[in-house]
Amino acid sequence: MSGRLPKGQHALDHFPRMGLPKRLARRAPVPDEPSLRVVGAVTSELSLADLATVPRRDQVSGFHCALTWSRLDVHWGGWALRDVYEQLIVPRARPADDVRYLKFVAADGFYASLALEFALADGVLLADTLDGEPLPLEHGAPWRIVAPAHYGYKNVKHLRAIELCARYPSPFNGGGGLLQHRDALVEREQRAQVLPGVVYRYLNAAARPAGLRAAGRITRKVLR
Ligand SMILES: Nc1nc2c(c(=O)[nH]1)N[C@H]1C(S)=C(S)[C@@H](COP(=O)(O)O)O[C@H]1N2
Ligand SMILES: [Mo]
């Protein structure tokens, strides 16, 4: 999962802040007492005290942005999403049998979804630390999704809510539209919708230097 560079990716020696320009230009609000809204048949809020009842996990994994950059061996801490789902979300949200997707909604308006079997797979975390420190604002404070098998855009930062859905939530309302593939598996190079991944590999690699420069500029301005 970590240590190996997937096809068409370029390893960086730093970990940039990345996102859709509109989202990047927003500083997501981080509340003093964060809570995580869970929307199923019942809607509720999970508190830090609730999460403290779930065993913590540490993980080292690679992080792969569809724009063709990777950061290998990123050290995360938090909770396995499967544990959070089984121990907190299911009892609270009382999901119907037809739940097939989890929609991850961020405080900056961004969202992404994963099929339940991907969301509950090994290696998917609700992370609140990076390199042993509280998750910094640039990487998604107070907590984010980490899904190393899927491209960066499934790794939703500033996570505010998890919605339990029967159908795949359309990404065309702030989730990146065509840029967001339903599964976004790195292994299958599902970088975006419509064209084969290898086409995006070359298009995105060409756009990468300018994209990283722009992201750096916006980040310095927004997080100053
Ligand atoms: N809330 C939120 N989460 C987001 C994004 C965003 O713009 N807003 N961008 C996604 C994209 S495209 C990538 S590559 C990763 C980047 O994570 P990083 O900023 O920690 O490097 O965050 C993903 N999660
Ligand atoms: Mo990305």
For 28-71, the pLDDT digits (tens) are 999 999 999 999 999 999 999 999 999 999 999 999 999 999 99
Q: Mark residue 181 as left, alpha or beta (left: phi above 0; alpha: psi -120 to 50; beta: remaining).
A: beta
Q: For residue 114, is pLDDT > 60?
A: yes
For 123-158, the pLDDT digits (tens) are 999 999 999 999 999 999 999 999 999 999 999 999
pLDDT for res 222: 95
Q: What is the mean pLDDT of the chain?
A: 96
User: With bands split at pLDDT 50, 70 and 90, how would you rate the model's confidence at 173?
Assistant: confident
> Which residues are near ligand 2, the ion (C-beta closer than 5 Å)?
18, 65, 152-153
Find the 84 Cα to ligand 2 centroid distance in Å: 25
pLDDT for res 128: 98
- Residue of the nearest CA to atom 2 in ligand 1? 157
Once rounded to an integer, what is the mean pLDDT over residues 69-91?
A: 98
Q: For residue 199, is pLDDT > 60?
A: yes
**Strand ranges in the chain using DSSP code E only, listed in sequence order:** 10-11, 36-39, 43-46, 57-64, 69-80, 101-106, 111-115, 125-130, 133-134, 144-146, 159-165
Find the 183 Cα to ligand 2 centroid distance in Å: 14
- Residue of the nearest CA to atom 24 in ligand 1? 156
By the 10 Å C-beta count (0-12 exposed, 13-18 middle, 19+ buried), 55 is classed as exposed
pLDDT for res 35: 98
181 lines ligand 1 (CB under 6 A): no
Ordered by start, the domain boundaries in the chain are 10-223
Whether residue 213 contacts residue 220, with contact meaning beta carbons closer than 8 Å, is answered with no
For the domain covering 10-223, report its CATH number. Answer: 3.90.420.10
160 lines ligand 1 (CB under 6 A): no
pLDDT for res 3: 65
Q: For residue 174, is pLDDT > 70?
A: yes
Quote the pTM value. Answer: 0.97
215 lines ligand 1 (CB under 6 A): no
Structure tokens, 72: 């290998």
Q: For residue 184, is pLDDT > 50?
A: yes
Find the 87 Cα to ligand 2 centroid distance in Å: 30
CA 152 – CA 19 distance, rounded (Å): 9
Pocket probe for ligand 1: among 27, 113, 157, 204, the residue whose CB has the most ligand atoms within 8 Å is 157
